[in-house]
């Protein structure tokens, strides 16, 4: 019995080590990593982003705490410190909460639609031949490269109640898509999805091409349908890519300005199609309430910062799982 115990003890102690040796000791032959090396690589980008972002954000936050209207801009009255007065005025405004709700719902609809269209077309690219694939890729990249103002104007022309071909094809006569609140939001959503889905399509397509074909063939031989293969095989393997495109789509769609402003003529009839970016523009430049517009900008910045932190946390968690 004594002989067996002495023979087992060294094996047990070796297994406790994380790298095959005693716990708490590093492998002397392994590479040593410096904690400052990643920061040295990131230093140029940090300097450039700091110069471009820190000062504007500082000015935005500073103006949001001041009484800053056209009178202060022209120097007619001195600038006074209001503290949180602009934020109290903003949060007490019922229109702000209505616009915030509309922005969140509209951004969520745009994100879901963009992901659905982009992922569906990414799967389609893996099923078609080289020539149709090239044509689809070129058309998508053309939509992606089109400026927002140009794309919005083209979509307004397509859905024009008098000369647009869409109403003629659908037999809607002189129906105005921008008159009703929901139809105007739907029209803007179509344009946002049209100019946003190429990023999702190209990114997800690249991820699909990286999946081993043996995995997909095994799932197909087991009798799984295309939807089951996507839901149970491809989507879990593409989760890091889907997280990236989702968070970036949230950031892009939450701060939509050009499409809403151009296609609804500044926010729709009586502001029925207002979103936060357009609302901030109206308050700052149409009403000359620059401090109130800055407060709206700070609120949007905090919301997007929270989304970004969630994105970074998800990436870190996925890195730990890998």
Could you identify the residue written with the tokens 């095959």? 20
Rounded to whole angstroms, how far apart are CA atoms 56 and 266?
Answer: 25
Low-confidence ranges of the chain (pLDDT < 50): 1-25, 322
Residues 6+ apart with CB under 8 A from 143: 151, 194, 195, 197, 198
CA end-to-end span of the chain, whole Å? 43
- pLDDT the model gives residue 102: 94
pLDDT of residue 87: 94
Which H or E run includes 81? strand 80-81
Distance CA 203, CA 198 (A): 8
Q: What does the block give as tokens for 179?
A: 């008159």
What tens digit of pLDDT does each residue of 196-240 get? 999 999 999 999 888 888 888 888 888 888 788 888 888 888 888
Q: 297: which 2 tokens?
A: 């900008």
CATH for the stretch 49-321: 1.10.3720.10
């Amino acid at each position: 019995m004594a002989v067996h115990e002495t023979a087992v003890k060294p094996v047990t102690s070796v297994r406790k080590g994380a790298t095959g040796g005693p716990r708490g000791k590093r492998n002397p032959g392994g590479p040593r990593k410096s904690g400052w090396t990643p920061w040295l690589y990131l230093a140029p980008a940090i300097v450039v982003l700091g110069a471009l972002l820190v000062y504007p954000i500082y000015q935005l936050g500073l103006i949001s705490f001041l009484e800053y209207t056209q009178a202060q801009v022209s120097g007619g009255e001195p600038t006074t410190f209001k503290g949180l007065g602009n934020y109290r005025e903003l949060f007490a405004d019922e229109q702000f909460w209505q616009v915030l709700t509309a922005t969140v719902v509209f951004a969520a609809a745009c994100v879901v639609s963009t992901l659905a269209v982009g992922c569906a077309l990414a799967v389609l690219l893996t099923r078609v031949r080289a020539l149709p694939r090239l044509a689809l890729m070129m058309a998508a990249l053309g939509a992606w490269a089109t400026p927002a103002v140009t794309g919005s104007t083209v979509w307004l022309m397509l859905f024009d109640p008098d000369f647009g071909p869409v109403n003629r094809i659908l037999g809607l006569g002189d129906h105005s898509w921008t008159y009703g609140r929901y139809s105007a939001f739907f029209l803007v959503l179509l344009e946002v999805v049209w100019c946003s889905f190429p990023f999702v399509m190209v990114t997800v397509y690249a991820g699909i091409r990286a999946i081993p074909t043996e995995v997909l063939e095994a799932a197909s031989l087991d009798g799984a349908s295309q939807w089951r293969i996507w839901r149970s095989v491809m989507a879990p393997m593409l989760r890091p890519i889907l997280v990236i495109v989702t968070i970036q789509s949230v950031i892009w769609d939450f701060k939509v300005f050009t499409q809403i402003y151009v296609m609804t003529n500044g926010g729709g009839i009586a502001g029925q199609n207002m979103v936060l970016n357009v609302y901030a523009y109206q308050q700052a430049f149409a009403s000359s309430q620059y401090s109130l517009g800055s407060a709206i900008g700070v609120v949007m910045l905090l919301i997007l910062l929270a989304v970004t932190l969630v994105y970074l946390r998800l990436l870190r968690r996925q890195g730990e799982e890998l």
